[in-house]
């Protein structure tokens, strides 16, 4: 008999619910996005996001259950994002999940949002099994993890300041691109020269990341070019910025896989949809004899199927959360190596 988990995700500006079977099969995956609303402000406004979650959460859950053609009596557990994320947004999802768990007497599972992104690969690829190295890269997070077994995580490196996605969005805003800028930069870069503008690669040593310096250097370069009245080729600049970010992400991940003698690399998070990042990883992993996996675009961005999948594996290990489960905006997934 299949074990069904309802996943609920409200960590930022997507209200999402999904039903997943046995941690691997997506029966429904409903997402109500707020991107068009927040684009008016150039980024996510936390108070607006939480209010929109309140409006959308019950209809989204109802639709996910209907599309999966299941009842609450069919569920083995309800999994919900506990953190990290915007506290107001997290509380909406947690409140809904706890209310349903209490009313329907269904086990409750708290899930780390970053862990959820990892399990998007388990949904997309049956062949994904630890031990492996995972690069999770999104608007708010850039984490390099060693996963020796399901549910076991060691942080190899993480950003010391801005995440890769933040660098894309903040430089993109100065370029005049709409929020979120990452997909726009990806599209422009296809016809640009990645060597046109010299941008730095920070923190060459070690496995930590830093994108604040790159962001500042790129923005200063744009301001200086405009002050001098020089024409800026937006496609070339997009390609140069993208290459500077991709170079560092790929180099450090490959270094980690080599040092740990791991033959599998997976990638997750919103920036995992970037075509240049996927292409460069594919080329280098093939040369090194390493298997490389990444989710389809619809599972790269925030969704509840990944939360349901991660929740299933926690449920299968016997984990349960109490009804006093609280939001933790700065929740960490694991301890740093060493």
* CATH assignment at residue 278: 3.30.420.40
**Inside any domain, residue 125:** no
The tally of domains found in the chain comes to 2
| Same domain for 151 and 220 | yes
Please list the residues that pair with 134 across neighbouring strands: 145, 266
SS3 state at 32: strand
| Same domain for 99 and 224 | no
| Same domain for 288 and 161 | yes
**Inside any domain, residue 331:** no
**Inside any domain, residue 324:** no
pTM equals 0.93
| Same domain for 137 and 56 | no
- Distant-in-sequence contacts of 50-54, Cβ < 8 A, 24+ apart: 50/86, 50/88, 50/89, 50/91, 50/92, 52/13, 52/15, 53/10, 53/15, 53/88, 53/89, 53/92, 53/93, 54/92
| Same domain for 303 and 241 | no
As a whole number of angstroms, the distance between CA 170 and CA 216 comes to 9
| Same domain for 99 and 210 | no
Low-confidence ranges of the chain (pLDDT < 50): none
pLDDT in tens, 260-317: 999 999 999 999 999 999 999 999 999 999 999 999 999 999 999 999 999 999 999 9
| Same domain for 306 and 293 | no
pLDDT score of 138: 85
**Inside any domain, residue 325:** no
**Inside any domain, residue 69:** yes
Following CA atoms 223, 229, 231, 237 in sequence, which dihedral angle do they give, to the nearest 10 degrees?
-10
CB 271 within 8 A of CB 241: no
Range of the domain at 16: 4-119+299-316
pLDDT score of 4: 98
pLDDT score of 241: 98
pLDDT score of 137: 94
| Same domain for 304 and 293 | no
Q: What is each CA distance from 50 to 17, 60, 124, in whole angstroms?
A: 16, 15, 30
pLDDT in tens, 48-78: 999 999 999 999 999 999 999 999 999 999 9
Give the tokens for residue 248: 């560092």
- Pick from 311, 299, 319, 298: which is nearest to 4 by CA? 311
| Same domain for 87 and 220 | no
């Amino acid at each position: 008999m299949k074990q069904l988990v309802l996943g609920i995700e409200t960590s930022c500006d997507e209200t999402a619910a999904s039903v997943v079977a046995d941690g691997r099969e997506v029966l429904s995956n409903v997402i109500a996005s707020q991107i068009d609303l927040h684009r008016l402000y150039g980024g996510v406004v936390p108070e607006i996001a939480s209010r929109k979650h309140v409006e959308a959460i019950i209809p989204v859950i109802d639709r996910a259950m209907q599309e999966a053609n299941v009842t609450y009596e069919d569920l083995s557990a309800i999994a919900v994002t506990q953190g990290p994320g915007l506290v107001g947004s997290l509380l909406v999802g947690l409140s809904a999940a706890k209310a349903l768990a209490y009313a329907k007497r269904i086990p409750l599972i708290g899930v780390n949002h970053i862990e959820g992104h990892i399990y998007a690969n388990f949904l997309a690829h049956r062949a994904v099994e630890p031990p492996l190295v995972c690069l999770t890269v999104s608007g708010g997070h850039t984490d390099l993890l060693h996963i020796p077994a399901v549910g076991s995580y060691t942080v190899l490196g993480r950003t010391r300041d801005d995440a890769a996605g933040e660098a894309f969005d903040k430089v993109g805003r100065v370029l005049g691109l709409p929020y979120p800028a990452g997909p726009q930069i990806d599209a422009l870069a296809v016809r640009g020269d990645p060597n046109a503008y010299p941008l730095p690669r920070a923190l060459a040593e070690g496995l930590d990341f830093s994108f604040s310096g790159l962001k500042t250097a790129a923005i200063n370069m744009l301001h200086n070019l405009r002050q001098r009245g020089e024409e800026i080729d937006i496609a070339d600049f997009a390609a140069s910025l993208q290459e500077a970010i991709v170079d560092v992400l790929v180099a450090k991940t490959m270094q980690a896989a080599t040092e740990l003698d791991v033959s599998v690399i997976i990638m997750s998070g919103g920036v995992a949809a970037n075509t240049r990042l996927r292409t460069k990883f594919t080329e280098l992993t093939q040369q090194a004899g390493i298997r490389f996996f990444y989710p389809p675009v619809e599972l790269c961005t925030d969704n509840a199927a990944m939360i349901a999948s991660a929740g299933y594996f926690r449920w299968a290990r016997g984990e349960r959360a109490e009804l006093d489960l609280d939001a933790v905006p700065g929740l960490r997934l694991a301890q740093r190596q060493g």
